[in-house]
Structure 1
Amino acid sequence: MKLAFIALALFAALVWSQDVEVDSGVTVSSAERAIDISSQVVKYVTELHVENGGKAPLNYIVYALSANEDKHLAFIGATGDNKNTALKVSRATLKGAKSDAVLYKIELMSVVAVGGKVTVKVEVVLAQHLKPYPSHITQAEQQFVLYDGNAHILSPYIIKKESTNIVLYHGHVESFTKAEPSKLDGDKLSYGPYENTPAFSTKDIRVHYENNSPFVVITRMERLIEVSHWGNVAIEENIDLLHKGAALKGSFSRLDFQMDRRGNKQPAVKSYKTLLPAASKDVYYRDEIGNISTSNLRQTEEAVELEIRPRFPLYGGWKTNYVIGYNTPSYEYLYSSGGHFALRMRFLDHVFDNAVVEDLTVKIILPEGAKNIKLDPPYKVKRSPDELHYTYLDTTGRPVIIAHKTNLVEAHVQEFTLHYDFDRTGLWREPFIAIIAFYILFVAVIVWVRFDFTIASGIHTSESHLYAFYSI
């Protein structure tokens, strides 16, 4: 999956289903599908070459997934002949469609005339689709997983020629379904080419193979963004991790772990890299115990690489929690025109390669006095009621914008825009309050020093007077 392709805003809100029709004259002249199951996520990239042999112009095509695939769907997007432009994708229904097929309508950039052709590339990402088998392993064993899929490209159209290529993890393949023609060559498994495949054709396949890539899922993540108009944006991420691979069977031996010569082929997570913005500074990495000194930081031209190394290796069923924080200059993300401001940042940033985030909460703290706030997310999110955050010298509190999203993957690393109005004179309110407070303090000290507030001031009783009094 290319980063440029991911960066496109391909995700569309799948809110309601639209009724669609499939012209029997529309066919797929050729289709190539690439499936990547070398990590914990399953990635499909399908290129469809569509011919409009029907009776009317074509302004959309229909893409299909099985019900099992749709249950694990985290992302779907499409591009047309112009690969830099995303196509709108929405849920669809088709009369007479196969009962376990879930359909999506892909709207084309331009109408395809009768006899015309169009090429559409569809990207799909499935989360937690691979199942560890066996579900429990010892510390010395390798992790094997099961992939269930279809040798054919599920489609409501007749496909004249199709092929599927599957990329596996570098390791042993225990077994795979043979659907001739099929071929296993190292870490590549191919099915097809098949010709004149009828609509909604299926041929179930199963691949049982070794996969020791990190099956680490972010079960909860809170991303806090605090905006300061004094030139800084502070980001803090609180992350809960759970290894959802094959659970560790038996006890853990630190000695065996250190003596293990499998390196990255161990089914345990020892470390991984998080990419921070290139202008990041004051980076910290800690957990409930305190600062974690085993991490490494490296500056590159494009990013700051932070090597995350937990206090202990993560095996299947193990979990951990940590906090990452850093500061960035506001000129990188904050734009203004008069009293109107726009904050443009990533809703979800890179945590590690092929990450899966089950639940994400983003909190954006704006300066005190911000108003007319409007959030433009890159995809559908759930908003919670705004809150107020109080810190030093605040009087009315700083507005906090809260948004939630579930089931995210790397393709969701996209930017949001937050618009708001702010009176620039408000920048001087807190310094003015501090000046007034110090002024009052200094005046109080001066008054206290210059005046004598003792009750018996001016009355002096000498020892002789006291002696005369007692002699009478």
Structure 2
Amino acid sequence: MDPAMFGLRLALVFAVLVHFSLLPTSYSLSSQDLQIVNAERRIDLTSHITRVILTLKVENTGTSPASEILLAFPPSEVDHIALLQAAVVVGKKKKKSYLPLDVKPTEVSEAPNETKFFSVSLLNPLSAGESVTLEVPYVFTHSLEPFPLEISQSEPQLVYYHDSAIILSPYHIKKQTTVIKTPSAKVESFSKVEPTDRAGTELKYGPYEDRSPYSFSPIIVHFENNNPFAVVEELVREVEISHWGSLQITEHYKLVHAGARHKGVFSRVEYQSRPSLSGVSSFKHLIARLPPRVHSVYYRDDIGNISSSHLRKDSRKSDLEIEPRYPLFGGWKATFVIGYGLPLQDFLFESSDGRRYLNFSFGCPLAETVVDKLTIKVVLPEGSKKPFAVVPFPVEQQRLETSYSYLDVVGRTVVVLEKKNVVPEHNSPFQVYYEFNPIFMLAEPLIEKEGIVKVA
């Protein structure tokens, strides 16, 4: 599935991102009797980011209503889940619609093998004999393992994907199938759990019938994946608000190629003369998707300004194509800075209670990139009071700092947000609210004038 289409589908399905609870609740399976009538799972491995869409038809075979449905994951997968959502499917085919549901981590006392759980809260309790269809999209990072771990410049990149042909669930499953999509038909090997079929770029496991709870059948798929394994180990985005008419954005990147490590000597002659064969898993450019009406764009590293960048703009977006000073092979790193300005009126608004608020995009502008650690710093104008942020998903940390710049007296409040394991699906708007007295806009001009008078 094309990543852009995947993201668009999520945006259409979910008007509001589902919140994870920070405090897990306790849960007991003995309180209800559910079964999965049909389970269909589609796993997209065409990128280095694993995207899954799980469709479940769940039936209440007990005598009392059920208000929650459990999703189960092996403990090895939980740390790699970047995003997990759920929605009720209403209607069929072209009239199908989706109602988002709340998802939160939970604990189950009798869970075997340290299985981890998430609880999906239904909008209305599921009565005895009734059924409901859920669509559960989720995203994994760092779930593909390069093998071999090192490759030469002329070798393609092969990776392992580990999973189970049988969907892990605490419920009895009457029927289930799993479809795995690879970037190409170049599959070295794959586990067979009959019935197993392969056609082109797809592997189909199942259908399997009448599987007991917690059934598990390990599978490994070994395939070629030469897509850029672009991982930003650390990204710091600083958004500075000036009430004089602009936003200034500064982004500090620590980028690494997280695929199979390069071995041997790099030959630039071979790389340039045989681009289709030499370094096929490397990448030499990235696309940063910036807002429309961007201006004053620059791109530099520790050495200085890098001229190999191209900006394409239209009324909806601005694409900045950047090239590091050298192509990135497995294990190679690059550190650089991107900066740009934006019109203030496109992103700063006033709420009905008089507060001002910034409405900006969370996440990373680089296309199809994983960010291990993201820090967003929103620098408010001097004199701002009572700031708070509204983010559509949990962040590991929110805190306030103070920064000083030219002519500041008391310093500027900085709202700091930190999040780990960020994927393109996190590129959704967040808001920072604050109170501001317009009299503070006169502070800097008066100080500057006073300074000029004193100097004279």
Amino acid at match of 1:67: P
Could you tell me which residue of structure 1 aligns to residue 247 of structure 2? 233
Contact 1:285 1:291 in 2 (8 A): yes
Could you tell me which residue of structure 1 aligns to residue 227 of structure 2? 213
Contact 2:279 2:329 in 1 (8 A): no
Amino acid at match of 1:2: G
Q: Is 2:35 aligned against 1:21?
A: no
Of 52, 56, 59 in structure 2, the residue corresponding to residue 51 of structure 1 is 59
Of 244, 261, 268 in structure 1, the residue corresponding to residue 258 of structure 2 is 244
Q: How many Å apart are 1:264 and its aligned residue? A: 10
Could you tell me which residue of structure 2 aligns to residue 5 of structure 1? 10
Of 360, 363, 366 in structure 2, the residue corresponding to residue 351 of structure 1 is 366
Q: Distance in 1 between matches of 2:199 and 2:279?
A: 20
Could you tell me which residue of structure 1 aligns to residue 293 of structure 2? 279
Q: Distance in 2 between matches of 1:390 and 1:239?
A: 23
1:9–1:378 CA distance, 2 compared to 1 (3 A): same
Q: Distance in 1 between matches of 2:175 and 2:301?
A: 54
Q: How many Å apart are 1:4 and its aligned residue? A: 4.3
Q: Distance in 1 between matches of 2:156 and 2:378?
A: 43
Of 55, 76, 94 in structure 2, the residue corresponding to residue 68 of structure 1 is 76
Q: Distance in 1 between matches of 2:262 and 2:340?
A: 34
Contact 2:271 2:279 in 1 (8 A): no
Deviates more, 1:97-106 or 1:171-180: 97-106
Q: What's the C-alpha RMSD, in Å, of the aligned pairs?
A: 2.0
Query: CA offsets per residue over residues 15-50 of structure 1, 9 Å max, x none?
Result: 324324356642111111110111112111101111
Deviates more, 1:374-383 or 1:163-172: 374-383
Deviates more, 1:110-119 or 1:385-394: 385-394
Could you tell me which residue of structure 2 aligns to residue 142 of structure 1? 156
Structure 1 gaps, min length 5: 445-472
1:279–1:54 CA distance, 2 compared to 1 (3 A): farther
Superposed, which structure 2 residues align to 1:390-405 within 5 Å? 390-405=404-419
Q: Distance in 2 between matches of 1:46 and 1:264?
A: 38
Q: Distance in 1 between matches of 2:332 and 2:190?
A: 30
Q: How many Å apart are 1:416 and its aligned residue? A: 2.0
Q: Distance in 1 between matches of 2:399 and 2:209?
A: 55
Query: CA offsets per residue over residues 149-208 of structure 1, 9 Å max, x none?
Result: 010111111111111111101251100001111111111111111111211111110000
Contact 1:346 1:416 in 2 (8 A): yes
Contact 2:20 2:104 in 1 (8 A): yes
Deviates more, 1:335-344 or 1:394-403: 335-344
Q: Distance in 1 between matches of 2:174 and 2:366?
A: 42
Superposed, which structure 2 residues align to 1:245-394 within 5 Å? 245-262=259-276, 266-337=280-351, 339-353=354-368, 355-383=369-397, 385-394=399-408
Amino acid at match of 2:40: E
Amino acid at match of 1:35: I
Deviates more, 1:250-259 or 1:368-377: 368-377
Q: Distance in 2 between matches of 1:225 and 1:20?
A: 45
Q: Is 2:53 aligned against 1:39?
A: no
Structure of greater Rg? 1
Q: Distance in 1 between matches of 2:168 and 2:450?
A: 72
Contact 2:381 2:412 in 1 (8 A): yes
Q: Distance in 2 between matches of 1:45 and 1:264?
A: 35
Tell me the SS of whatever aligns to 1:31: strand
Contact 1:9 1:414 in 2 (8 A): no
Q: Distance in 1 between matches of 2:166 and 2:30?
A: 19
Aligned length: 441
Q: How many Å apart are 1:263 and its aligned residue? A: 6.9
Q: Distance in 2 between matches of 1:123 and 1:52?
A: 22
Q: How many Å apart are 1:415 and its aligned residue? A: 2.3
Q: How many Å apart are 1:98 and its aligned residue? A: 2.2
Contact 1:233 1:329 in 2 (8 A): yes
Q: Taking every aligned residue pair, what percent have the same amino acid on both sides? A: 36
Q: How many Å apart are 1:317 and its aligned residue? A: 0.9
Tell me the SS of whatever aligns to 1:436: helix
Query: CA offsets per residue over residues 58-117 of structure 1, 9 Å max, x none?
Result: 211001111221232222111123655431111122233322421110101122222222
Q: Is 2:443 aligned against 1:429?
A: yes
Tell me the SS of whatever aligns to 1:99: helix
Could you tell me which residue of structure 1 aligns to residue 93 of structure 2? none
Tell me the SS of whatever aligns to 2:204: strand
Tell me the SS of whatever aligns to 1:256: helix
Q: Distance in 2 between matches of 1:371 and 1:296?
A: 39
Q: Distance in 2 between matches of 1:42 and 1:404?
A: 23
Deviates more, 1:312-321 or 1:178-187: 178-187
Amino acid at match of 1:346: S
Q: Distance in 2 between matches of 1:269 and 1:15?
A: 41
Query: CA offsets per residue over residues 226-285 of structure 1, 9 Å max, x none?
Result: 011112111111000111111111110001101224279801011121110112221111
Deviates more, 1:137-146 or 1:262-271: 262-271
Q: Distance in 1 between matches of 2:394 and 2:81?
A: 15
Q: Distance in 2 between matches of 1:384 and 1:278?
A: 28
Of 81, 85, 88 in structure 2, the residue corresponding to residue 80 of structure 1 is 88
TM-score with structure 2 setting the length: 0.92
